[in-house]
Structure formats: structure tokens, C-alpha cells
């Protein structure tokens, strides 16, 4: 069995799906590895390092591969070039990739999506959404600290006392908690809000204050948030306004699985912030929590800087690749038995994360969408 690791095709993608240090584990499992030249260029890993670890390096790495590995979904041309039955493993959010899903089905490719790994204890080592969110949360904190024209910590010096920066984090999931932990480590005065009940305790455990708006929690399936009604949304914005106005830094990370990110912050709420304040909208590329944030851009409005996130984990490609590679390796080890591909759809992790197989869309929600749009 042969695995090919692709050089990422999408502009701006700096991560790589496999690192040389993980090759021994694959070779041990009886798998050959081929990588495209410059596959690790953006993370400072030369082709020689892959070759030294036992990989074949060549432009024809994909030829004859049984499994193709990447970070971003393969493109339509790659899907056309792969032989029927080839397995692909990558991020692949189905609702955003419908033309590719159709092509995968038509080409009878078997696609596993890292977006669909179930959040169960046994799959934690494969949970790439969490590992990449953790990277993004850290990055949000560092971006804010760098852009803010103030210190984060309290300083008491002979020349006087400088108050710490105040940080408010909206959405205390994996990314939000990491943003809280990092801004706390930098010494800021941090508070946070989330609609889930358990988040108050998680926020407090990191030494931050939970903002209690006195609204009922909004919890849906699997411990995720539910979508808000318009009424609740308006009330939440009203109640958050004074907290936002009092913050030097606002970091937003709120998301609801399968939906566009909820709008939590209106232009009027930004107007209330002090000039020099910084807003980091980590989910700008999923619709945005902040009105006017633009993915990949920094805009200034009334002296407030609004930084819009775009593929944020890729901005720290080294740890993001290390963690992603480990996540995909753990999934691949489930797909290989005695050096051969073995697709056991009785395994709930494989059953849940397989999007297409043998000319069919296996993921129920995507099946329904395809049925609707044809
Ligand atoms: N393996 C596992 O079991 C596993 C792994 C990772 C995460 N989780 C859990 O999943 C949950 C969410 O994880 P995530 O970070 O992927 O979530 P996410 O990226 O979908 O959302 C980020 C956060 O935004 C919050 N949010 C949504 N709408 C909001 C609103 N209107 N206002 C304020 N906040 C809002 C959500 O509650 C969530 O905490 C957490 O409970 C986390 O502990 C479990």
C-alpha cells in the first residue's frame, strides 16, 4: 500500500499533512510513503528529510497511490486524475465543497473528511478540528497583543503603575479557551462569555471571569451551541455592549456547527470602544461574529482595529502541521491492516468520517443537500 502526500494547492495554505518524524510509524505498518517535492517547504522541512526518513520524493508521487493525504481538500483536477477507489484524507467541509463532493462520487473515490471525525473519547487523537482551533486561539491572543498599543500585564514601576489590558473573549470553545489561557499568561485582565452552561466553569478554571448575562443557556446536540433566535440575539447584543465598551481587546470565536457564525457585534458596539482598541474576529472566514470584519484584512474604524481571520491555523504552520499530521496518522492507522487498506465501516469513526465511497455519498446531511440541489 502506498500513501502520497500532496503539496498544498490552495493559495495561502502553509501547512503540510505529514512530517518525516511520523514516517517510521507508517513504514512499520507496512505502508510506503511518497511525497511531492517541496511538500514541507513552508514549515522548514526539506525534501531530504523526507527521503532520509524513507519516503520517495517525486512529482509523480500521486501515481499509483492508494491513499492521498492533504490538509485542504483535493481540487477538481486532482479528483479527475486519481484512479477509481483511491482514498483521500483531508479537511473537507461538505457544505462548502459541493462540486468536489459530486466529483468524488462520480469518480468513485473514497473521501474521509477530518471535519466529520466524531467527538467521542476514542477519536480524540484524530480530532483535527480541535487541534487546529487550539492553534488559532493562541494566534488570536498573540495578534491582539502585538496590535494593541498597550501592555497586557500590570506594571508597577518607580515611574508609576500601568494598568493591565482588559480582554473580552466571546465563545469559549476550544479556540476561545486557548485565547483566554494565552492572554492570561501574558498578564491581561480577561473575561469571557459563551452560551453553553459548562463554559462558566471552564472559563473560571483558567483564571478568567465569566460574564453572566442572566440569559438561559443554549445547548444543542453533543455539547455544541444551538442557533439563537433573533430576539435572544438582540438581547445578548444589548447586554454585551457595556462589556465590549470596557475592553481594550475583543476576541470573537463563536460558531455553531454547520451554520454561518452568529453576528454578535454590530457597528454601534464597535463605536463604543476606545480608540486604539483591537478586535480579532477569528471566525471572519465563516461569516464573522463582528459586522464589517473582512477575512485576511485589518481595517480601522473610528480608531478601532478590526482583524479578520482567514485560515488562521495556517499562520502558525509548524505546530498546526505537527498536530494535524499526528491526527491524520491516527486515522490512517485505523484504515490499514496487515499493510493493506481495510475499510471497516462498522467502526463508528470511519463510518462517521467517510463522505463518499464507491460512487455514493455516505454522509446523511450531505446526501440530503445533494438531493435538494442536484
Ligand atoms: N472530543 C470531544 O469530546 C470534544 C472535542 C472538542 C470540543 N469539544 C466540546 O465541544 C464544544 C464546542 O467546541 P468547539 O470549540 O469546536 O465549538 P465551535 O467552534 O463550534 O464554537 C465555538 C464556541 O462558540 C460558542 N458559541 C456559539 N454561539 C454563540 C453565541 N451566540 N454567543 C456566544 N458563544 C457562542 C459555542 O458554544 C462554542 O463554545 C465544547 O463543549 C468542547 O468542550 C468536545
CA dist 140 and 143 (Å) reads 5
Question: What is the C-alpha R_g of the chain?
Answer: 22
Domain 2-126+317-373 falls under CATH 3.30.70.560: no
Mean pLDDT value across residues 74-80: 97
DSSP 53-87: TT-EE-TTTTTT-SEEE-SSPP-HHHHHHSPTT-E
Active site residue 124: yes
Q: Tell me how far the alpha carbon of residue 336 lies from the centroid of ligand 1, in angstroms.
A: 32
Question: Residue 372 pLDDT more than 70?
Answer: no
- Candidates 51, 88, 82, 84; CA nearest to 69 is 88
Mean pLDDT value across residues 107-133: 97
For residue 289, what is its C-alpha cell?
A: 461574529
Q: What is the pLDDT of residue 228?
A: 82
Closest Cα to atom 9, ligand 1: which residue? 223
Mean pLDDT value across residues 35-44: 98
DSSP state of 221: G
Distance of CA 99 to the CA centre of its chain: 22
- Residue 287: how many CA atoms within 13 Å on its side-chain side? 13
Question: Residue 137 pLDDT more than 90?
Answer: yes
Cα dihedral 212, 218, 221, 223 in deg (nearest 10): 0
CA dist 80 and 100 (Å) reads 10
For residue 287, what is its C-alpha cell?
A: 461569516
Q: Which CATH fold would you assign to the domain 135-310?
A: Rossmann fold (3.40.50)
Active site residue 236: no
Mean pLDDT value across residues 134-163: 98
Q: Which residues does ligand 1 sit against, CB inside 6 Å?
A: 119, 124, 127, 129-130, 133, 170-176, 193-196, 199, 223-225, 228, 253-257, 262, 264
| Residue 369 or 12, more confident | 12
**Contact by Cβ (8 Å): 367, 361:** yes
For residue 303, what is its C-alpha cell?
A: 480608531
Q: What is the pLDDT of residue 373?
A: 59
Q: Which residue among the candidates 47, 66, 127, 194 is catalytic per the annotation?
A: 127
Question: Residue 94 pLDDT more than 90?
Answer: yes
Question: Residue 176 pLDDT more than 70?
Answer: yes
Mean pLDDT value across residues 21-43: 97
CA dist 335 and 27 (Å) reads 14
Of ligand 1's listed atoms, the one at least distance from the Cα of 262 is 31
Question: Residue 170 pLDDT more than 80?
Answer: yes
CA dist 32 and 167 (Å) reads 48
Q: Tell me how far the alpha carbon of residue 317 lies from the centroid of ligand 1, in angstroms.
A: 23
Distance of CA 17 to the CA centre of its chain: 14
Number of H helices, E strands in the chain: 12, 19
Q: What is the mean pLDDT of the chain?
A: 96
Active site residue 178: no
Q: What is the pLDDT of residue 221?
A: 73
Q: Is 257 helix (H, G, I), strand (E, B) or coil?
A: coil
CA dist 246 and 168 (Å) reads 9
Active site residue 293: no
CA dist 39 and 195 (Å) reads 41
Mean pLDDT value across residues 37-54: 98
Tell me the pLDDT tens digit for each residue of 289-303: 999 999 999 999 999
Q: Which residue among the candidates 25, 224, 232, 233 is catalytic per the annotation?
A: 224
Mean pLDDT value across residues 226-237: 89
Q: What is the pLDDT of residue 146?
A: 98
Question: Residue 283 pLDDT more than 60?
Answer: yes
Domain boundaries, the chain: 2-126+317-373, 135-310
Closest Cα to atom 42, ligand 1: which residue? 173
Mutation test of ligand 1: which of 173, 216, 228, 256 has the most ligand atoms closer than 8 Å to its C-beta? Answer: 173
Closest Cα to atom 33, ligand 1: which residue? 194
Mean pLDDT value across residues 51-75: 98
pLDDT band at 225 (very low <50, low <70, confident <90, very high): confident
Q: Tell me how far the alpha carbon of residue 290 lies from the centroid of ligand 1, in angstroms.
A: 18
Closest Cα to atom 12, ligand 1: which residue? 173
Residue with cell 460574564: 211
The domains spanning 2-126+317-373 and 135-310 adopt the same CATH topology: yes
DSSP state of 38: T
Query: Among the residues of the chain, which ranges form H helices?
Result: 23-28, 47-52, 76-81, 98-106, 128-147, 174-185, 199-205, 230-245, 267-271, 317-335, 348-353, 364-373
Closest Cα to atom 29, ligand 1: which residue? 254
**Contact by Cβ (8 Å): 310, 140:** no
Of ligand 1's listed atoms, the one at least distance from the Cα of 202 is 43
Q: What is the pLDDT of residue 220?
A: 76
Question: Residue 83 pLDDT more than 90?
Answer: yes
pLDDT band at 259 (very low <50, low <70, confident <90, very high): confident
Active site residue 205: no
Q: Tell me how far the alpha carbon of residue 55 lies from the centroid of ligand 1, in angstroms.
A: 38
| Residue 194 or 197, more confident | 194
Q: What is the pLDDT of residue 29?
A: 95
Closest Cα to atom 5, ligand 1: which residue? 119
Q: What is the pLDDT of residue 374?
A: 54
Amino acid at each position: 500500500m502506498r500513501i502520497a502526500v500532496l503539496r498544498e494547492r490552495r493559495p495561502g495554505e502553509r501547512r503540510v499533512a505529514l512530517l518525516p518524524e511520523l514516517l517510521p510509524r507508517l513504514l512499520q505498518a507496512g505502508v510506503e510513503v511518497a511525497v511531492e517535492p517541496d511538500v514541507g517547504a513552508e514549515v522548514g522541512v526539506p525534501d531530504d528529510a523526507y527521503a532520509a526518513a524513507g519516503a520517495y520524493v517525486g512529482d509523480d508521487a500521486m501515481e499509483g497511490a492508494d491513499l492521498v493525504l492533504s490538509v485542504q481538500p483535493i481540487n477538481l483536477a486532482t479528483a479527475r486524475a486519481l484512479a477509481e477507489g483511491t482514498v483521500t484524507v483531508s479537511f473537507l467541509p461538505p457544505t462548502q465543497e459541493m462540486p468536489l463532493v459530486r466529483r468524488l462520487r462520480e469518480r468513485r473515490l473514497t473521501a474521509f473528511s477530518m471535519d466529520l471525525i466524531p467527538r467521542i473519547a476514542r477519536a480524540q487523537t484524530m480530532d483535527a478540528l480541535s487541534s487546529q482551533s487550539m492553534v488559532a486561539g493562541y494566534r488570536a491572543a498573540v495578534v491582539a497583543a502585538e496590535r494593541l498599543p498597550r501592555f497586557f500585564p500590570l506594571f508597577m514601576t518607580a515611574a508609576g503603575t500601568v494598568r493591565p489590558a482588559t480582554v473580552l473573549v466571546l465563545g469559549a470553545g476550544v479556540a476561545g479557551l486557548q485565547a483566554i489561557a494565552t492572554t492570561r499568561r501574558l498578564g491581561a485582565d480577561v473575561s469571557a462569555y459563551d452560551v453553553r452552561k459548562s463554559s462558566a466553569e471552564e472559563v473560571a478554571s483558567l483564571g478568567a471571569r465569566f460574564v453572566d448575562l442572566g440569559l438561559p443557556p443554549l445547548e444543542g446536540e453533543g455539547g455544541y451551541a444551538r442557533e439563537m433566535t433573533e430576539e435572544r440575539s438582540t438581547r445578548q447584543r444589548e447586554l454585551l455592549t457595556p462589556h465590549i465598551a470596557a475592553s481594550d481587546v475583543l476576541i470573537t470565536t463563536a460558531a455553531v456547527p454547520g451554520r454561518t457564525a452568529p453576528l454578535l457585534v454590530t457597528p454601534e458596539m464597535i463605536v463604543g470602544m476606545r480608540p486604539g482598541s483591537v478586535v480579532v474576529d477569528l471566525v471572519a472566514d465563516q461569516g464573522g461574529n463582528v459586522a464589517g470584519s473582512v477575512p485576511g484584512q485589518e481595517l480601522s474604524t473610528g480608531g478601532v482595529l478590526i482583524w479578520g481571520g482567514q485560515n488562521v491555523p495556517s499562520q502558525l504552520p509548524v505546530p498546526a502541521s505537527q498536530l494535524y499530521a499526528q491526527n491524520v496518522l491516527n486515522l490512517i492507522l485505523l484504515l490499514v491492516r496487515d499493510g493493506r487498506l481495510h475499510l471497516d465501516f462498522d467502526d463508528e469513526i470511519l463510518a462517521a468520517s467517510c463522505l463518499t465511497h464507491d460512487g455514493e455519498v455516505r454522509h446523511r446531511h450531505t446526501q440530503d443537500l445533494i438531493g435538494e440541489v442536484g
